[in-house]
Structure 1
Amino acid sequence: MDPDRGRAVLATLQGRTVKSAATDESGGLLVSFADGTHVHVGSDEEYESWALAGPGGMKVVCMPGGELAVWSGDES
Structure 2
Amino acid sequence: MIHRLDPAGDPSLLGPALSITRSSITAGFADDRGNLYVDFADGSAIEISADGLYEAWTINGPEGLLLVSCPGGSLAIWGLDTQ
TM-score, L = length of structure 1: 0.81
Are residues 3 and 65 of structure 1, via their aligned partners in 2, closer, same or farther at CA, if it must alter by over 3 Å? farther
Are residues 21 and 39 of structure 1, via their aligned partners in 2, closer, same or farther at CA, if it must alter by over 3 Å? same
Tell me the percent identity.
Answer: 31
Offset of residue 25 of structure 1: 4.4
**Partner residue of 2:59?**
52
CA distance in 2 between partners of 1:49 and 1:3 (Å): 17
Specify which structure has the higher proportion of helix.
1
User: After superposition, what is the alpha-carbon deviation per residue over 1:27-64, rounded to whole angstroms, capped at 9, x for unaligned?
Assistant: 21000001111100000111110010111211100000
Q: Which runs of 4+ in 1 moved over 6 A?
A: none
Aligned length: 72
What is the RMSD computed on CA atoms of the aligned residues?
A: 1.7
**Partner residue of 2:41?**
34
SS in structure 1 opposite 2:33?
A: coil
SS in structure 1 opposite 2:38?
A: strand
TM-score, L = length of structure 2: 0.75
**Partner residue of 2:3?**
none
Answering whether residue 59 of structure 2 is matched by residue 61 of structure 1, we say no
Are residues 22 and 37 of structure 1, via their aligned partners in 2, closer, same or farther at CA, if it must alter by over 3 Å? same
